[in-house]
């Protein structure tokens, strides 16, 4: 029985992650993501108008043609967490495969949400949706078993997937950080990760985004403390406060809501995606909103809420809005352009609890947004953010726990994979025989 790693997306770019593991005639797909900067997309966007082929030509979703040409029997599509660069292409590609989609409860709810929208657009996923919690294992076939291991990342209920094969374990670690004090959920399941290492990991497929950063990524608790300082450490009692953060980052939203309540302000979460992620987090029991928090959808609902805020007084509210990347259609940009009932006034506080995703489009959009806000006298407060991705020191520890026979850096082009190669080589792994630099569409047979 030979085993092959088939990288299909996320090895020439950051985004559209997808990796296939072939074990004999069977295969398991890990992730089906979208490349966010290839179609102008923010968290509220839909891509229903474009066909899978068009999106593939644009480089926005993975090219899955090799699966058909190899005649593989796909046993499952495994989604480790709910970010769009890991699950945003499901609705275009998953329907081709007669197999279940397996994910944790929060992620499955996100898949279902898209499915409901899909119905309205005439799309439907035929795949069965199966919930697998971290700490659980399920049989995919006589030879294959899937296990989810608890891990920390910037979205709740993230899992590292372990595929148990007759030859050993294959670990798919996209995405993760090692956070021992996460704001929601438990710390990573170190005991189980060491256990996998003892059983024998034949291949580790790992993100490499932060492998060049000589540090440890800070805990979410640090972002929470910074946010507290930005909200309580400045004179803002008589002014408007807007916080912009990732709508999918439930832990961050939880901190904002709790601090708002502590300040005696009514927290209003605005926008469709904010409503979607937060509502699902509440439903699956990961988030309990303080009493006075209001969850408002997008469009007319958010307009009405902003009118009400102006009537009652800005100083009674804390507004949470989408649009921290400066997306022109998002609420924050619309507020900055004066297109809503909520004008930006002198000394209003605009707090960015998010980094700028470093692509030229975001940098330019964000520049425009900040300039507009500044021109109207807003106080801009940046920095209350930590990454969801592991840095070098966490990768070092993951390698020590798993001691994989083969390593496939992923989630970035060769230039980024190189940082991971440097680290692994320093610990004795050999390039090409044990560390495999990969590109989309180029298969690699495991020597096991």
Are 201 and 405 in contact, with CB atoms under 8 Å apart? yes
CB-CB contact of 256 with 353 (8 Å) = yes
Closest CB to Zn ion among 207 and 348?
Answer: 207
Q: Which is nearer to Zn ion, 151 or 289 (CB)?
A: 151
**Which lies closer to Zn ion via its Cβ, residue 27 or residue 89?**
89
Within a 10 A sphere around the Cβ of 22, how many other Cβ atoms? 22
Nearer to Zn ion, 157 or 333 (CB): 157
In 3D space, the residue among 337, 400, 422 whose CA is nearest the CA of residue 371 turns out to be 337
- Please identify, among the stretches 72-80, 130-138, 168-176, 293-301, the one whose residues bind Zn ion according to the rule CB under 5 A: 168-176
The contact pattern for Zn ion, residues 369-388, with x = CB under 5 A and - = no contact, is: --------------------
User: Measured over all CA atoms, what is the biggest interatomic distance in the chain, rounded to whole angstroms?
Assistant: 70
Are 351 and 244 in contact by the 8 Å Cβ rule? The answer is yes
Q: Which is nearer to Zn ion, 85 or 258 (CB)?
A: 85
* Two tokens, residue 191: 């005991």
**Is residue 202 within a helix (H) or strand (E), and if so which, with residue range?**
strand 201-207
Q: Work out whether 175 is an interface residue with Zn ion (CB under 5 A).
A: yes
Q: Nearest distance from residue 209's CB to Zn ion, in Å?
A: 9
Question: Segment near Zn ion (CB under 5 A), from 109-117, 174-182, 331-339, 436-444?
Answer: 174-182
Is-contact 287 278, C-beta < 8 A? yes
Nearer of residues 177 and 230 to Zn ion, judged by Cβ: 177
To Zn ion, the closest distance from the beta carbon of 412 in angstroms equals 13
Q: Look-up: residue for tokens 């004999």?
A: 24
Chain centroid to CA 427: 29
Radius of gyration of the chain (CA): 22
Should residue 189 be labelled a site residue for Zn ion when binding is judged by CB under 5 A? no
Rounded distance, CA 313 to CA 316, Å?
6
3-state secondary structure of 379: strand
Q: How far is the CB of 159 from Zn ion (least distance, A)?
A: 12
Q: Does 150 bind Zn ion (CB under 5 A)?
A: no
Provide the minimum distance between the beta carbon of 86 and Zn ion in the complex, in angstroms, as a whole number. 6
Q: How far is the CB of 14 from Zn ion (least distance, A)?
A: 11
Nearer to Zn ion, 8 or 309 (CB): 8
Q: Report in angstroms how near the CB of residue 441 gets to Zn ion at its nearest.
A: 23
| 8 Å CB contact between 442 and 7 | yes
Could you give the string, one character per residue 68-97, with x where binding to Zn ion holds by CB under 5 A and - elsewhere? Answer: ---------------x--------------
Pairing of strands 349-352, 407-410: unpaired
Report in angstroms how near the CB of residue 217 gets to Zn ion at its nearest: 13
Nearer to Zn ion, 83 or 254 (CB): 83
Stretch touching Zn ion by CB under 5 A, among 167-175, 230-238, 250-258, 402-410: 167-175
Sheet with 294-296, side-by-side order of all strands: 294-296, 266-270, 317-321, 241-244, 349-352, 379-382
Length of the chain counted residue by residue: 448
Our measurement of the distance from residue 354's CA atom to the centroid of its chain's CA atoms, rounded to an integer in Å, reads 13
Shortest gap between Cβ of 46 and Zn ion (angstroms)? 20
Write the binding mask 25 to 64 for Zn ion: x where contact by CB under 5 A, - elsewhere.
----------------------------------------
Cβ 35 to Zn ion shortest distance, Å: 13
Cα–Cα distance, 33 to 232 (Å, whole number) = 38
Q: Bridge-partner residues for 204, per DSSP? A: 171, 407
Shortest separation between residue 256's beta carbon and Zn ion, angstroms = 20
Task: Return d(Cα 278, Cα 135) in angstroms, integer.
Answer: 24
Closer by beta carbon to Zn ion, 416 or else 446:
416
Give the residue with the Cβ less far from Zn ion, 78 or 305: 78
Q: How many residues bind Zn ion (CB under 5 A)?
A: 2
Is residue 373 a contact partner of residue 351, using CB atoms and an 8 Å limit? no
- The contact pattern for Zn ion, residues 311-340, with x = CB under 5 A and - = no contact, is ------------------------------
Residue 207: name the closest of 431, 448, 407 by CA: 407
**Which of residues 26 and 175 has its CB atom nearest to Zn ion in the complex?**
175
Phi, psi of 3 (to 5 degrees): -125, 135
Q: How far is the CB of 172 from Zn ion (least distance, A)?
A: 13
Shorter beta-carbon distance to Zn ion: residue 83 or 334: 83
CB of 81 to Zn ion, least distance (A): 6
448: closest CA among 200, 156, 194? 200
Residues 95-124 that bind Zn ion (CB under 5 A): none
Footprint of Zn ion (CB under 5 A): 83, 175
């Amino acid at each position: 029985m030979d085993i092959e790693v088939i990288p299909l997306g996320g090895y020439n770019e950051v985004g559209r992650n997808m990796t296939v593991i072939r074990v004999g005639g069977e295969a398991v797909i890990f992730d089906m993501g979208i490349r966010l900067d290839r179609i102008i997309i923010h968290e509220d966007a839909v891509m229903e108008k474009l066909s899978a082929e068009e999106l593939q030509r644009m480089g926005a979703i993975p090219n899955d043609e090799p699966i058909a040409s190899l005649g593989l029997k796909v046993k499952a599509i495994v989604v480790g967490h709910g970010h769009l660069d890991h699950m945003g292409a499901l609705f275009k590609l998953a329907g081709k495969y007669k197999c279940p989609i397996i994910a944790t409860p929060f992620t499955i709810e996100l898949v279902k949400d898209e499915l409901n929208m899909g119905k309205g657009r005439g799309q439907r996923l035929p795949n069965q949706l199966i919930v697998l919690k971290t700490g659980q294992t399920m049989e995919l076939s006589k030879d294959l078993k899937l296990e989810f291991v608890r891990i920390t990342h910037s979205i709740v209920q993230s899992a590292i997937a372990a595929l148990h094969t007759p030859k050993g374990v294959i670990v798919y670690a996209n995405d993760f950080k090692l956070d021992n004090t996460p704001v929601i959920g438990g710390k990573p399941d170190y005991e189980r990760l060491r256990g996998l290492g003892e059983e024998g990991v034949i291949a580790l497929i790992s993100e490499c985004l932060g492998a060049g950063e000589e540090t440890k990524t800070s805990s979410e608790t640090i972002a929470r403390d910074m946010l507290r300082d930005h909200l309580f450490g400045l004179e803002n009692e008589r002014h408007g406060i807007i916080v912009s953060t990732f709508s999918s980052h439930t832990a961050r939203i939880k901190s904002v809501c709790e601090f708002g309540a502590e300040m005696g302000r009514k927290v209003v979460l605005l926008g469709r995606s904010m409503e979607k992620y937060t509502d699902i987090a509440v439903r699956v029991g990961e988030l309990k909103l303080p009493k006075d928090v209001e969850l408002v959808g997008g469009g007319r609902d958010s307009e009405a809420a902003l009118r009400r805020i102006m009537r009652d007084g800005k100083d009674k509210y804390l507004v949470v809005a989408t649009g921290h990347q400066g997306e022109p259609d998002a609420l924050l940009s619309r507020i900055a352009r004066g297109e809503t009932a909520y004008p930006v006034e002198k000394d209003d506080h605009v707090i960015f609890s998010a980094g700028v995703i470093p692509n030229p489009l975001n940098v330019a959009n964000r520049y425009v947004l900040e300039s507009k806000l500044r021109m109207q006298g807003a106080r801009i407060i940046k920095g209350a953010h930590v990454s969801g991705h592991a840095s070098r020191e966490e990768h070092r520890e993951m390698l020590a726990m798993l001691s994989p026979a083969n390593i496939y850096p992923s989630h970035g082009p060769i230039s980024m994979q190189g940082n991971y190669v440097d680290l692994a080589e320093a610990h004795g792994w050999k390039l090409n025989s044990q560390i495999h630099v990969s590109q989309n569409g180029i298969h690699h047979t495991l020597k096991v």
